[in-house]
Amino acid sequence: MNKIKEGNTSEIRNYGFKLNILEDLAAYRLGAMELPKIVLRPDGQWDDYLPKEELQITPNYETFACTIYGTENILQILEKFHYGKTREYAERYNYNLVKIVPPGADPHDAAESFRNDGVIPLSELPMTSTLEEYSKPRPMPNSYIAKGIAHPYELRHQWLWTSPLNKEDRTRIIKEHLKYSPLGVSVTAWNCPNGICIDSGQRNTHWTVLYGWNDQGWKIFDSYSLHKKILSYDHQIEVCKRYQLVKSTRQEQFSLLQKILQLLTKWLNLIDIPTTELLPPQPEPLPEPSKPTKYDFSIAGKFGTAWKSVRIICDEEGLSVKDKNDLCATVGAESGWKTNAKLENKSNGKVWSSDWGIAQINDHYHIGVGKSFPSVDYVLNNPEAVIRWMCKQWKAGNKNWWVTYKNGSYRNFL
């Protein structure tokens, strides 16, 4: 087995990255979506949430599974960010659902498997001593698929670009979107003289995770040792994806499909569906998202820790002193600086929407798939992100979205 040698250009080869864009662009984009721009890491640095280091290569074989390992690493980073911990998952599960063979797979196909098929624990399909064993089972048994579908979170994904960009545009897009998630990127692996990885003018051969930057280049979390690398800012990144972790709707879709199949079985008596095998087990849920560490929203009321945190974020977002005072007072008028506040909006005695959290985000207009926030739980458990979004609306001239600002009652909280 060839070893990766830093600085040796003769070792640059394909490590599992294959792009299908030129084959069928329409099919390639199928399943991609425009993700909401919800700021999770204002500084764009994900160092504190990196998962356990794992190799896609063993002493006996190369898996050519960089697209699986890279995508799984991003799922784990986002799980750790939102819920304080993550689990170890079986790469073999998604590897065999995608049916990877050398020279590898398309990162879009890998992302679609994580989105549609979920993940299963590593103990279900552990590493093996040979590639022949690792490349099984194909097809994947329904018992495994049921467990994957039952995983409570869904990894959504979006292309940021699918053809090479100039350095200026590439840098701008990466730094913006690192606020929303770690990124999946294609790179040329691995020629790293003096510890900085360059492309040597060669095409990309590998898929990996970009999780931040420093004064030398982009920070890479890789499925090869050394796991942490620095990618030159001049390194051509041919394609790039961003991601979002949301509560899964797979199980609801699965239950509906199962009912349809059972009805077909009953009415037509033409198919035999092993319904007991398909029933997905309920996984142990991950804990609720932990509160931000940098800001303290635990004490509501004027001059409480939540009040102070709102003002700090306003300063970081560049609001003027007047806008900071007005915004903070509006938060007080809306929620009393309470992160769990809720207000029901009624018409003719019926609730048509509700306002949630410290900034009273309306669920009809701003919460849900394709909107500013993915869920009510997210709004309630991520007050920092909510206040930063409110700051952006303030600067965009949308102050009147908040009723207490529009009617002037916010002044009572100045």
Predicted confidence band at 33 (pLDDT cuts at 50, 70, 90)?
low
Count other Cβ atoms within 10 Å, centred on residue 238.
19
3-class DSSP assignment, residue 2: coil
Predicted confidence band at 356 (pLDDT cuts at 50, 70, 90)?
very high
Predicted confidence band at 255 (pLDDT cuts at 50, 70, 90)?
low
User: Looking at the predicted structure, is the pLDDT value of residue 28 above 50?
Assistant: no
Q: How many CA atoms lie within 13 A of 397 on its CB side?
A: 0
Residue 366 phi/psi, 5-degree rounding, is -125, -5
Predicted confidence band at 350 (pLDDT cuts at 50, 70, 90)?
confident
Mean pLDDT of 85-97: 95
Cite the residue boundaries of each domain of the chain with CATH code 3.90.70.10. Answer: 9-247
User: Looking at the predicted structure, is the pLDDT value of residue 19 above 60?
Assistant: yes
Q: Which CATH architecture has domain 9-247?
A: Alpha-Beta Complex (3.90)
Amino acid at 182: P
Quote the pLDDT of residue 275: 43
Beta strands 153-161 and 350-356: pairing type?
Answer: unpaired
Question: Is pLDDT larger for residue 221 or for residue 162?
Answer: 221
User: Looking at the predicted structure, is the pLDDT value of residue 367 above 60?
Assistant: yes
Best CA proximity match to 68, nearest among 57, 79, 60, 78: 57
User: Looking at the predicted structure, is the pLDDT value of residue 276 above 70?
Assistant: no
Beta strands 196-197 and 228-232: pairing type?
Answer: parallel
Instruction: Quickly tell me which residue has 């239950």 as its tokens.
Output: 255
Q: Which CATH architecture has domain 305-413?
A: Orthogonal Bundle (1.10)
| Helix or strand run (H / E) with residue 315 | helix 305-316
Q: Give the integer Cα–Cα distance in Å for 119 and 72.
A: 9
Predicted confidence band at 257 (pLDDT cuts at 50, 70, 90)?
low
Read off the DSSP letter of residue 411: G
Point out which residues pair with 135 in neighbouring strands: none
Lowest mean pLDDT among 262-271, 317-326, 328-337: 262-271
Quote the pLDDT of residue 344: 92
Lowest mean pLDDT among 32-36, 50-54, 335-339, 364-368: 32-36
Question: Average pLDDT over the chain, rounded to whole?
Answer: 85
Q: Give the integer Cα–Cα distance in Å for 19 and 105.
A: 7
Mean pLDDT of 214-235: 96
Give yes or no for a cis peptide into 59 (omega within 30° of 0): no
Mean pLDDT of 127-141: 95
Q: How many CA atoms lie within 13 A of 62 on its CB side?
A: 16
User: Looking at the predicted structure, is the pLDDT value of residue 376 above 50?
Assistant: yes
Mean pLDDT of 321-349: 93
Q: Give the integer Cα–Cα distance in Å for 44 and 213.
A: 8
Token reading at 224: 């090869």
Cα distance from N-terminal residue to C-terminal residue, the chain: 68
List pLDDT tens digits, range 148-171.
998 989 999 999 998 889 999 999
User: Looking at the predicted structure, is the pLDDT value of residue 377 above 80?
Assistant: yes
Q: Give the integer Cα–Cα distance in Å for 51 and 221.
A: 9
Quote the pLDDT of residue 264: 60
Quote the pLDDT of residue 185: 97
Point out which residues pair with 217 in neighbouring strands: 232
Distances (CA, A) of 306 to 336, 356, 391: 10, 16, 15
List pLDDT tens digits, range 311-320.
999 999 999 9
Query: How large is the C-alpha radius of gyration of the chain?
Result: 24
Token reading at 215: 């004064």
User: Looking at the predicted structure, is the pLDDT value of residue 286 above 70?
Assistant: no
User: Looking at the predicted structure, is the pLDDT value of residue 67 above 60?
Assistant: yes
User: Looking at the predicted structure, is the pLDDT value of residue 22 above 50?
Assistant: no
Question: Is pLDDT larger for residue 158 or for residue 26?
Answer: 158
Residue 14 phi/psi, 5-degree rounding, is -80, 130
User: Looking at the predicted structure, is the pLDDT value of residue 413 above 60?
Assistant: yes
Helices (H), 162-268: 167-177, 250-268
Predicted confidence band at 262 (pLDDT cuts at 50, 70, 90)?
low
Mean pLDDT of 181-197: 94
Predicted confidence band at 29 (pLDDT cuts at 50, 70, 90)?
very low
Count other Cβ atoms within 10 Å, centred on residue 162.
16
Cite the residue boundaries of each domain of the chain with CATH code 1.10.530.10. Answer: 305-413
User: Looking at the predicted structure, is the pLDDT value of residue 237 above 90?
Assistant: yes
List pLDDT tens digits, range 49-65.
999 999 999 999 999 99
pTM over 0.85: no
Quote the pLDDT of residue 251: 64
CB 307 within 8 A of CB 400: no
